[in-house]
């Protein structure tokens, strides 16, 4: 697993946590670790093998919890916190962010209030006129979302 793949997984973790409305400091810690890891010059696999968890914790923004998750990624290809999170909040929720007019706040509202967790759920919601019920979604944004999900 490359540094970029690890960073991408941590960033997706941060996005899911943010959509769920989790603690912003926790979200920020995953995001910061992802930014550092993505550009780190040494492969983390090498750091983990040569220096262990302590070596990973030497990276800025990588503490005990995140270094443990990185080791688990190397060993299992995933980590327990990710599995638990995606059981409760499917990873497909992140697909909502690909829709024009849907940002983090709107995706969070759609998921938390209306239990929308996929593009298909959103398509059905839009067809049923549900966008009128969403606070913060004006007429123009609703039009962009509608045309985006129908495309």
State whether 116 and 146 are in the same domain. Answer: yes
One domain, residues 35 and 100 = no
- Per-residue model confidence (pLDDT) at position 18: 94
Provide the CATH number for the domain around residue 32. 1.10.150.110
pLDDT tens digits for 19-70?
999 999 999 999 999 999 999 999 999 999 999 999 999 999 999 999 999 9
Q: What is the pTM of this model?
A: 0.87
CATH at 137: 1.10.150.20
As for how many domains the chain has, the answer is 2
Same domain, 62 and 116: no
Place of tokens 């926790």: 26
Range of the domain at 83: 3-88
Residue 97 dihedral angles phi and psi, to the nearest 5°: -70, -15
> For 82-99, what is each residue's pLDDT tens digit?
999 999 999 999 999 999
């Amino acid at each position: 697993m490359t540094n970029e793949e690890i960073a991408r997984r941590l960033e997706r973790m941060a996005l899911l946590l943010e959509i769920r409305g989790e603690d912003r400091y926790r979200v920020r810690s995953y995001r910061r670790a992802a930014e550092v890891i993505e550009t780190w010059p040494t492969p983390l696999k090498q750091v983990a093998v040569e220096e262990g968890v302590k070596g990973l914790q030497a990276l800025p923004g990588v503490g005990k919890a995140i270094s443990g998750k990185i080791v688990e990624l190397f060993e299992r290809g995933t980590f327990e916190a990710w599995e638990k999170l995606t059981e409760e909040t499917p990873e497909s929720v992140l697909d909502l962010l690909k829709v024009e007019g849907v940002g983090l706040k709107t995706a969070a509202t759609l998921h938390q209030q209306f239990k929308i967790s996929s593009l298909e759920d959103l398509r059905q919601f839009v067809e049923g006129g549900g966008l009128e019920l969403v606070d913060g979604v004006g007429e123009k944004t609703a039009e962009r979302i509608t045309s985006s999900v129908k495309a």
